[in-house]
Structures are given as C-alpha cells and as structure tokens.
Amino acid sequence: MSIDSIAGPSEILVIADETANPRYVAADLLSQAEHDELASAILITTDEGVAEAVRKEIEVFLQELSRSEIIQKSLDNYGYILLADSMDDAVAAANAIASEHLEILTKDPYNVMTKIQNAGAIFLGEYSSEPLGDYYAGPNHILPTNGTARFFSPLSVDDFMKKTSIISYSEEALRRAHKDIELFAEKEGLTAHANSIKVRFSKR
C-alpha cells in the first residue's frame, strides 16, 4: 500500500499579532528548531514591535537551552521572522508555506483559523504550545511536511485501508441522467464514452 509520505524535518510556523507574548512565541519557535539543523521555524507577524521582541527573546533563550548549537544552525538555515502588512497577508503566506505545525497567537485565533487551508496541525491561543500536541493533547503526530500539507492530511487509519467504488443505476435513474452524461462526453470529444450511454436508449 502507498502509505508513505515526506515526514520531516520538523517545521513550525507562528502567526502572531500585536497581542502575542514575544517570550511565548520565541520559546515555541525554538521548540521545533532544536530537532535538527534542517528544522524550520518561521514567525509571521503583523507587528514590527513583536518581531523585534521575539528576536531578542530568542537571543536570551539561546544562552540557556542545552541544544543551542543545533538551534542556532537551524535558525541560520531555515529560521525567518516575516513582517506582514495585514492578517490576510499573513494567512496567505501561511497557506502557501503549508507548515507541519501552525500556531495562531492572535487576539481572535479562532477567526484566523477559519482562513487556514493548509497546515498539518493547528494550535490555537497562547496556551496551546506545539509540545502540548507532542506529549499530551493526543492529536496525530505523523504530519505532512515540506509543503505537502497543501495536498496531504495527517496519517490516519484511512491510509491503511483499500477502498473501491460501487455504482448501480436502474434504467429509470440512468434515463434521467443519460443526456447530461452524453453531453459531457461529447464536449470532451469522447464519442465512444457517449455511445456507451446512448445505446441503452436508442431504438436500434
């Protein structure tokens, strides 16, 4: 079965506005940067003050954390603080990046969440840090990375099941639909497709 996916390196993206606690944001970014040198930690904020405060908090944490060498290389390689003109721009960027983990630290995280289309797992509010999902809250921990959240979901039991489709129309049901089907087929230039339906309702 085809159940494999791109799993790693770890990624986190934080969307933050002026209400976000910079210390929390910095700590959460570093929680994923410590995985390895290829891990990605990205902040997208609408507030320049928050961006600068997060940068300073990161410097403080780097003096304290045991895996600071790995974290520093991760940040040098794939760490970004991006300033967005509006929350809509921040959301658009987040959807384009399609991060494995997405934290929303805004005044109304639930509203922002409704605009997110691409993310492996979403964490809402300042008390829903990503490690909560790793160790305690219990969401799926096998998440799409490397932008594949644009078209993949987290691993689930469905990925281990083989499915098929079963179609059964009565003559009456097909009679109601046959002209539409024939029109679709003819517009595609697939006359044999159209004929396969049409012969069932022709005189000959």
CA–CA separation, 3 vs 9, rounded Å? 18
- The active-site residue out of 11, 57, 101, 126 is 101
**Residues with Cβ < 8 Å from 204, sequence gap 6 or more?**
none
What is the CB neighbour count within 10 angstroms for residue 55?
A: 13
Supply 35's token pair.
């995985």
Of 149, 137, 110, 156, whose CA–CA distance to 13 is shortest? 149
CA–CA separation, 12 vs 204, rounded Å? 65
Q: How far is CA 40 from CA 90, 157, 204, in A?
A: 17, 28, 66
Cβ proximity of 99 and 119 under 8 Å: yes
Of 134, 138, 122, 123, whose CA–CA distance to 32 is shortest? 134
The verdict on whether 100 is a catalytic residue reads: yes
Of 101, 124, 120, 115, whose CA–CA distance to 16 is shortest? 124
- The active-site residue out of 11, 57, 100, 130 is 100
Give the HSE-up count for residue 131: Cα atoms under 13 Å, Cβ half-sphere.
11
The verdict on whether 101 is a catalytic residue reads: yes
List active site positions: 100-101
